[in-house]
Chains A and B, each alone.
Chain A
Amino acid sequence: MEISTQNALQNYLLALADDELALAHRNSEWIGHAPILEEDIAIANIAQDELGHAALWYNLLCQLTGDDPDRLVYWRDAADFRSAQLLELPKGDWAFTILRQYLFDVYEVVLLDGLQESAYQPVADTAVKIRSEEIYHHRHTHTWVKRLGLGSVESHGRMQGALNELWPYALQLFIPLADEAVLVDDGCVPQRTAVYNQWLNIVQPHLADSGLEIPADAGPPTPNRAAHSPHLAGLLADLQKVAREHPGANW
């Protein structure tokens, strides 16, 4: 593999892993606080799945770089993360959490469809593994979006409010990384425009069926995955606290 391709692949894997990690952490904040017991269990499972997926991507990255997944998670500062801002936002209310998870689940299923065909076999194998689990997430959030969107006046209002806020952030997922073109040319990853079109073909009719209106296209808040919302620092402070206070500790 050429150096430029290898560098681009590392950047791509880091973004994939950081997205999963940030979302896993936000979902885990619901544990013990979800609206009903069944959903507490479901969101904890989804958080654990996403954390498992983050671990797979970090491991793949570290096989290329010789780095340590624990270092990447616990010892990088916000500026070195490449998560999209969608995943960093505070968990909000249940509507916000469900809708964010839904928008991301569809993105993941579509993206993984493309990554399953990757010319870089370890990425293809990992995508196949993750995709079968994501189907369960997608089915769950797909159902909830409709139920809340068509539910009471209050649940509909909260969902529409969440959609208005989340939509521009979701669009950041479809902006290619600076050096992604070389990976597309080599058949390692799918084109983001194709992923976006497939995503839109799924979410647009479902949101409409759920009585929700997509807001006017304002574009993403930033195209740059090195630029973060102020919320990431707080997320990391929470996530990294124990590891940093007790370096090298075993438990």
Chain B
Amino acid sequence: MAPLTDSKKTCEVSEKPRRSKIWQALQTVKDPEIPVVSLVEMGIVRDVTLTERGEAIVYITPTFSGCPALHVMQRDIKERLAEIGCKSVAIEIRLSPPWSSNWISDEAREKLRQFGLAPPPRHHGDFIGLADISTAVCPRCDSTNNTLKNSFGPTLCRAIWYCHDCQDAFEQFKPL
């Protein structure tokens, strides 16, 4: 196939394969603060659409609204998509539906655990109830004999726990 030369079109293939190519590329864009999981696995990338002019629009949603990594994520998405030939990329931030830690995939939860970050417990949206009964499983020894030491940690999305079996602190991705 001849290389793409028409500057008005950014990709020679039809829309459906192109969208899946973009999704594949986005699978490799990592969370800047947790470099073992991708923005797709974290549920941060919500949708991808293509305009008639060939522009890709990537819809993302912030985990915590003050998260400074959101700027880095937008830059990384644009750089990655440029690498696969998407010259025109727009990123739109969606607040609704609000990001939920339930959207973190099972694979990503396991990666978080191996990274040393306890995954957030799944919840049913009853957030006040959840905040009161939240639990964490120690990512090192799987113990549930833990105490919440601080609802706030080194980033907005992390809480600090203490494992009474390991006798050491660990971090948890906060349920939201």
Contacts and interface: CB of A to CB of B under 8 A. Distances in A.
Interface string B43-69: 000000000000000000010111110
A59 to B, nearest CB: 9
Given A41-B150, A132-B176, 18 more contacts: A38-B160, A41-B154, A46-B152, A48-B68, A48-B156, A49-B66, A52-B64, A52-B65, A56-B65, A125-B98, A128-B95, A129-B65, A129-B96, A132-B127, A133-B176, A136-B151, A136-B174, A140-B152
A53 B66 CA distance: 7
Of B62, B132, B151, most buried by chain A (CB within 10 Å of CB) is B151
A181 interface: no
Given A38-B150, A41-B152, A128-B98, A55 B66 contact: yes
A128 B96 contact: yes
5 contacts: A42-B150, A51-B66, A52-B62, A52-B67, A135-B131
A129 to B, nearest CB: 4
A45 interface: yes
- Please classify the interface of chain B as helix (H, G, I), strand (E, B), loop, or mixed, using the class held by over half of its residues: loop
A130 interface: yes
B65 A130 contact: yes
B66 A140 contact: no
B96 to A, nearest CB: 4
Interface in A15-70: 38, 41-42, 44-46, 48-53, 55-56
Contacts of B67: 52
A48 B66 contact: yes
A140 B151 CA distance: 8
Contacts, number: 69
Interface of A: 38, 41-42, 44-46, 48-53, 55-56, 125-126, 128-130, 132-133, 135-136, 139-140
Interface size class of B (residues with CB under 8 A): 20 to 34
B152 A55 contact: no
Contacts of B174: 136
A52 B153 CA distance: 17
A42 B148 CA distance: 13
Nearest to B61: A129
Of B68, B95, B149, most buried by chain A (CB within 10 Å of CB) is B95
A139 B66 CA distance: 19
A130 B68 CA distance: 16
Interface string B144-176: 000001111110100010000000000000101
B95 A52 contact: no
A52 B95 CA distance: 13
Contacts of B62: 52, 129
B175 to A, nearest CB: 10
A51 B65 CA distance: 9
B1 interface: no
A2 B67 CA distance: 35
Top 4 closest A-B pairs, CB basis? A52-B66, A125-B96, A45-B152, A42-B152
A82 B154 CA distance: 32
